[in-house]
A and B are shown apart, each in its own frame.
Chain A
C-alpha cells in the first residue's frame, strides 16, 4: 500500500527566506505527483503537477522536483511571503490500481512571519 510522508509537519520562517518542503512515498510506480495548497477552512488549490517522466516543474516562486527512483519530491519556495502561509499537501497517483485516485500526505503547515 502506498504511503506518503511529509516532513516537517510544521514550519515557521521569517519573511524572505527560501525554504524546502519534503515529500516521500514508498511505491515508485506512480503516474504523477501533485502539490496542493490549503488555506485554513478552505479547499485545495493545485500548485504544481509533475508527471512521472519529468524531473521538475516551476511556477513563479515555486519549484517542485521529483526523484521517482528514491521516492522523493521537494517543493522549493523562493523569497517566502506572509501570503504563503498555508498547509502544503503532496499527493501521488498510483500506477497500478484501478481507482486512479490520489494518496495524500498529512501536509506541512507553513507560517511565514512578517
Chain B
C-alpha cells in the first residue's frame, strides 16, 4: 500500500543515547516533514525538507538533526537524547498537486 512508513514504532532510550528515526514514502512526493506530538501541545514541526538535498528548521528543532537521503527517505536523528524529547514522532509527506499531507503511523519514543 502506498504511504509513509516509519520505523521503529516504539523505542526506549536512556538519557544521552543517540538514535535515528527512519521515514520513507513511496508516493513520489517532494516535500517531507517531521512533527512531534505532545499532550496538550498538538503537533509541532521539527524539521522539513522541501526537496531532495534541502532541509530547514521548523518550530522546535533544538536537539535534532535530519538527513534527506534521497527523494524517498527522510531521517531524524537524536544525538544525545533527553527526557524532554519523550514524545510521539510523526513523519509526513505532501503531494505536489493538491497539497494534501499523508502521515506515517508514528514512533513512540520514551527517554528515561
Within 8 A of B (CB), among A8-59: 31-32, 34, 36, 41-46, 49, 51
Count B-side interface residues using an 8 Å CB cutoff. Answer: 25
Q: A104-B42, A107-B42 are in contact. Are A46 and B58 (CB under 8 A)?
A: no
Question: Which of B12-20, B63-71, B77-85, B103-111 is the interface stretch?
Answer: B103-111
Q: List the B side residues contacting A101 at CB < 8 Å.
A: 33, 45, 48, 58
Give the interface SS of chain B, mostly helix, strand, loop or mixed. Answer: strand
Choose one: A36, A43, A104; the contact of B105 (CB below 8 Å).
A43
Q: List the A side residues contacting B101 at CB < 8 Å.
A: 34, 46, 91, 102
Closest residue of A by beta carbon distance from B4: A43
Give the interface SS of chain A, mostly helix, strand, loop or mixed. Answer: strand
Q: List the B side residues contacting A106 at CB < 8 Å.
A: 40-42
Cβ-Cβ contact count across A and B, 8 Å cutoff: 63
Q: A32-B99, A93-B99, A100-B31 are in contact. Are A105 and B105 (CB under 8 A)?
A: no
Listed A/B pairs (27) with beta-carbon separation below 8 Å? A4-B42, A34-B100, A41-B108, A42-B105, A43-B104, A43-B106, A44-B90, A46-B100, A46-B103, A51-B99, A91-B43, A91-B101, A99-B48, A99-B58, A100-B31, A100-B48, A100-B50, A101-B33, A101-B45, A101-B58, A102-B33, A102-B43, A102-B45, A102-B101, A104-B43, A104-B44, A106-B40
Known: A101-B45, A102-B101, A104-B42. 15 other contacts (CB 8 A): A32-B99, A34-B101, A36-B103, A43-B106, A44-B90, A46-B102, A46-B103, A89-B43, A91-B43, A100-B48, A100-B50, A100-B99, A102-B33, A102-B43, A106-B40
Taking beta carbons and an 8 Å cutoff, which residues of A are in contact with B? Answer: 4, 31-32, 34, 36, 41-46, 49, 51, 89, 91, 93, 98-102, 104-107
